[in-house]
Amino acid sequence: MYTRLQTARQQWGGTSTAIDNWLEERQQLIVSYCKLAALPPFDKQQDNQLPSQDAILGFCQLLMDYLSAGHFEVYDQIVSQCQENGSDSKSLAKALYPKIAASTDVALEFNDKYAETGSDHHFSGFDADLSTLGQALEERFGLEDELIQTLHNKHSKGSVSA
């Protein structure tokens, strides 16, 4: 996930304030995900304990912020550019959006299940749910990057602006 983020920053960094901010939010989300999942370089939880409720809540807030920025800021701009710059780009946007929306559903389910639970709630499926979410995010990032890359390549003079 992080390698993909670095590539995205190299390719589109500076082309749009909205995209720069969105990629910054993506980085925060990835770091928070890795901490929550105890992925390297972050240490494993002691005695196989689950992350704290505060850590889960913080991650869920970042997740919702990232989804919102995509849906309500960046996607709107991309779709607008697609409409201005040709039917091929518009067709791509229409084809990718439902796939991106599927990952939104996974993220919302995770948030609904874990963001509002009390500390006495048992998280027996937490690791599996976090893994499923990670896979959905990885796919989402690829789809988002594909959409931005296609627009950037085909319409470099009219790249997404903010």
Q: Give the model's pLDDT for residue 102.
A: 92
CA-to-CA distance for 152 and 144, rounded, in angstroms? 12
Neighbours of 78 (CB within 10 A): 25
Q: Give the model's pLDDT for residue 140.
A: 94
Show the CA angle centred on residue 13, arms to residues 41 and 149, nearest 5°: 100
Tens of pLDDT, residues 78-93: 767 666 666 776 777 7
Mean pLDDT estimate for the chain: 79
60 backbone dihedrals φ, ψ, rounded to 5° = -60, -35
Averaged pLDDT for residues 115-124: 68
Q: Give the model's pLDDT for residue 149.
A: 77
Tens of pLDDT, residues 50-73: 888 899 999 999 999 999 888 777
Helices of type H across 53-125: 53-69, 75-85, 87-114
Strand blocks (E) in 28-162: none
